[in-house]
Structure 1
Amino acid sequence: MKTVFVKPAEAERKWYVIDAEGKVLGRVAARVASILRGKEKAIFAPHQEIGDYVVIVNADKVVVTGRKKSQKMYHHHTGFVGGLKSYSFETLISRHPTQPLELAIKGMLPKGPLGRKLFKNVKVYAGPTHPHGAQNPQPIEL
């Protein structure tokens, strides 16, 4: 079977909106990553950007199971000696409400230029409103 090459103009790109309120963090991130890559399309090719756009609202109300709220840790390094900073899920979501969901989605995308390009197609908002009404996004249930 030959490799499918789809011209960017021929790929139909849709907009979807997902309400993350009360949904589990990993399940939302896995579904969004699949939509961004275009895996649900018949013309899927792992080396092309043919996925759709996703708008996520109520990202601050996403939930985690078990005791992850206090035990799940996020780490980053400032670049200085001894600059390793660690935050729990609870602390991170209170400071930056969209960051846990963004980090989960980014971790599920391919690493490299394609993954960085795909990540630009997701828009995450902490509240229930978003400025992408003109694109007429279709709601998706998880």
Structure 2
Amino acid sequence: MFINNNKTYIKKVSYQKNWYVINAKNQNLGRISSKIAYILKGKNDVTYLPYQESNTNIIIINSKYISVTGKKQKEKTYKKHSGKPGSLKINTFNDVQKKMPNKIIQHAVKGMLPKNSLGRKLLKKLKVYSDNKHPHNSQKPIHLTTN
């Protein structure tokens, strides 16, 4: 008779939160969004589990200076619909960048996160600001440079 004493050990998420600050000035939208999603999911941590929420918060500054390649500034569109007939609003990248530059990065990262309750929780940990200033100075964030 064989008795298996091997038990699966699942490490609990640590309670210490990691804060990252990423400067989006002159960065490519797709490349920086994929790095943000990678860190938000916790894939850069040794204790990564796909179903566990990581204790990582990300602050993006200078979102109004994000760039895209090719003809995307004129051709990329963002659609919004209220559900009523004839209420479809279509805006180009330039229009959204002038009015709501934070929505561009949030929209790109949201598409790269899981489409379930975990993805919604992770998106709440992303803070995007259009300028250099942010109210999270007391957390002692880690400044990341993306090249």
Short-chain TM bin: over 0.9
Larger radius of gyration: 2
Report the CA distance between 1:88 and its aligned residue. Answer: 0.3
Which of 79, 92, 101 is equivalent to 2:83?
79
Q: Partner residue of 1:52? A: 56
SS at match of 1:64: coil
Deviations 1:105-132 (A, max 9, x none): 1111001110000001110000011000
Q: Partner residue of 1:111? A: 115
Distance 1:5 1:93 in 2: 43
Q: Does 1:16 align with 2:16?
A: no
Gaps of 5+ in 2: 1-6
TM-score calculated relative to the size of structure 2: 0.90
Distance 2:137 2:119 in 1: 26
Report the CA distance between 1:7 and its aligned residue. Answer: 2.0
Distance 1:76 1:129 in 2: 29
SS at match of 2:101: coil
Moved over 4 A (4+): none
User: Contact conserved, 1:35 with 1:51, CA < 8 A, in 2?
Assistant: no
User: Contact conserved, 1:39 with 1:51, CA < 8 A, in 2?
Assistant: no
Q: Partner residue of 1:128? A: 132
Report percent identity of matched pairs. 39
SS at match of 2:33: helix
Question: CA separation of 1:89/1:3 partners in 2, compared to 1, >3 Å: closer, same or farther?
Answer: farther
How many aligned positions are there?
141
Gaps of 5+ in 1: none
